[in-house]
Structure 1
């Protein structure tokens, strides 16, 4: 929050240059992400994922579906299909949530601080660039730190990205006028009053409350979830995604959910990262169809 004002001051002055060359910036970003894959097969899968998700986004984003809720759009079914449903289907075939009482899960603070801080800085940067997700920022944050400690470092970096992005996206909304997160898109469509101090205070309050709740109720939550049959649970959540897709996009939303789920299954087949599915926004924005 304290860094928001100077960062926004810089972003407002850099925005015209970035926006003037946005297709080039996004194209370079996609090329770098694909090149980071470790094998030829994974790189092929990455290109296929970008192409398929980009085509889907170019077709879907201009749509104006008949939604049940007033803030409905195609983003909810698209992202639920690309990033949610494939993971749930894989979880349905798995063995459920693993035991969480293993002491080895605990991570020393020094292994969290570096990727967390790097993620926060990356999240601040991408908050002002349309189409760039937190996962993309986390990937580059780990590159900058040279951290190769695996999934735990990525979680720390992504947490820093999402926290910073939540704050800086608010500053970007007020300074540049464009909502760069799905939450802010819904906020704008709901025509809610813009009051920066109240919104920032809400973010800070939510961060404090949840930081206290996670250690307090986290273990109890996992025990409760583990007591439920994971196949019934995942099937129920998949059904919930269909309902949400219908609420936000009607029949069109349900169709987009199915198409996005098929596209979202591409990266795991080739051993590529799911981050390439952000082509659903990057490609249309670069082509000017979003």
Structure 2
């Protein structure tokens, strides 16, 4: 029990750090933990290390909204939350954006529990029938996003260009070699597509964020519950099918409401996206235990150990969700400290940090991908279309792989 308790505490700390630091994803931390597995098992035991990975993964889904809100820098799970969260911050509502996101993640965990049980019962018998159709589902999803966009031609072009870049990055990912061995190529790819363009824009912008205040949540309880359920469903889709991001699934659910992505209510979108992120992490456990599918780097690391009881890990995930909520809400009070800093200087520091972490984790090839991705990521802002279409970098390679056209 000491190893489990100590592992949980360490996981909460690691998840908080990975959430706070822009550009660092829980998959990256999981990879480092995998490299240190032998000494970690000696200290915490196998169950303790597994508990550490799960608690770290869950806490990260709560805390990662902070750099997205106050710095405009995403990790792979928050790439599409940057615009609404950062815009609320510019209006002085950054603390509210963080609290709304934390509520969404908490309700996402609650609503995903029935889906978790359903996954465990249904997936083993149906997974084989749907594997062949995953590529078609992704094709349909991409088609809907493009057709309902306000500039279909440009949207399709950005989707295809980013998709080709994603294919190139994944095809030669073995060149991504850094200090810790083979690096996660998604780090420079998604940082370049979604993070650095926002930093470069903020350096040129004369817009200064308003004074950050919190006077309450400007969203109804009914909207919180509705979007929490919607996000949990989106998280189930992401947890089951590869090639989707939580933001992409939520954008598809919003297509019925509006053909213009930016018209979606930012608070409701934050709730649904955050709920999807947390539900996706939890339901990834179900996919691992039910059908042996590993949907994230954290699950790959977890699967390298002798898996403990699923009931233990679900309990750990629940306690970690409460811990992540508490840490995130408390951290929202740091907004005034962020806003006192010179935003241009801060953006430059973050930019240098992202370049440095790319060199450390992914080496020279990571820098090449970072540069190419940044060039592609600047296009949506120049032609005024949503950055969601840059998700072609993930969706197109996975679609072609599942259809048997490409092999990585």
- Aligned-pair RMSD on alpha carbons? 2.5
Q: Does 1:130 align with 2:242?
A: yes
Counterpart in 2 of 1:208?
A: 322
TM-score, structure 2 as length reference: 0.64
The counterpart of 2:179, out of the listed 61, 68, 74, is 68
Distance 1:230 1:183, change over 3 A: farther
Other-structure match for 2:115? 3
Q: Distance in 2 between matches of 1:152 and 1:193?
A: 41
Equivalent position of 2:197 in the other structure: 86
Alignment of 1:175-194 (within 5 A): 175-185=290-300, 187=301, 191-192=304-305, 194=307
User: Normalising by structure 1, what TM-score?
Assistant: 0.87
**Of 238-247 and 11-20, the range deviating more from structure 2:** 11-20
What is the CA distance between 1:120 and its match in structure 2?
1.0
How far the C-alpha of 1:266 sits from its partner, in A, is 2.1
Q: Is the 8 A contact 2:115 2:236 kept in 1?
A: no
Residue 230 (str. 1) matches residue 361 (str. 2): no
SS in 2 for 1:7: helix
Matched, 1:114 2:226: yes
Indicate whether 1:58 and 2:183 are aligned. Answer: no
Deviates more, 1:58-67 or 1:160-169: 58-67
Q: Distance in 1 between matches of 2:338 and 2:200?
A: 17
* Structure 1 counterpart of 2:283: 168
- Alignment correspondent of 1:246: 359
* Paired residue secondary structure (1:21): helix
Partner Cα distance (1:76, 1:2) in 2: 32
Runs of 4+ residues over 6 Å off in structure 1: none
Alpha-carbon distance in structure 1 between the residues aligned to 2:336 and 2:282 = 32
Partner of 1:20: 132
1:193 deviation in Å?
A: 5.0
State the SS of the aligned residue for 1:60. helix
Change (3 A) 1:271 1:3: same
- 2:159/2:389 contact within 8 Å kept: yes
**Among candidates 250, 274, 277, match of residue 387 of structure 2:** 274
Relative to structure 1, is the Cα distance of residues 269 and 188 closer, same or farther in structure 2, using a 3 angstrom cutoff? farther
Partner SS for 2:381: helix
Tell me the CA shift for residue 13 of structure 1.
3.1
Q: CA 1:81–1:12 in structure 2 vs 1: closer, same or farther (change >3 Å)?
A: farther
Aligned length: 284
Higher relative contact order (CA 8 A, sep 6+): 1
Q: Distance in 1 between matches of 2:306 and 2:190?
A: 26
- Where structure 2 has 5 or more consecutive residues not aligned to the other structure, the ranges are 1-112
Task: Indicate how the Cα distance of structure 1 residues 43 and 108 shifts in structure 2: closer, same or farther if over 3 A, else same.
Answer: same
Q: Distance in 2 between matches of 1:47 and 1:188?
A: 37
Structure 1: any 5+ residue segments left out of the alignment?
A: none
Pair 1:53–1:182, CA change in 2 (3 A): farther
**CA offsets, 1:14-63, max 9 Å, x none?**
322322122222111110111121x2xx2222111111111011111022
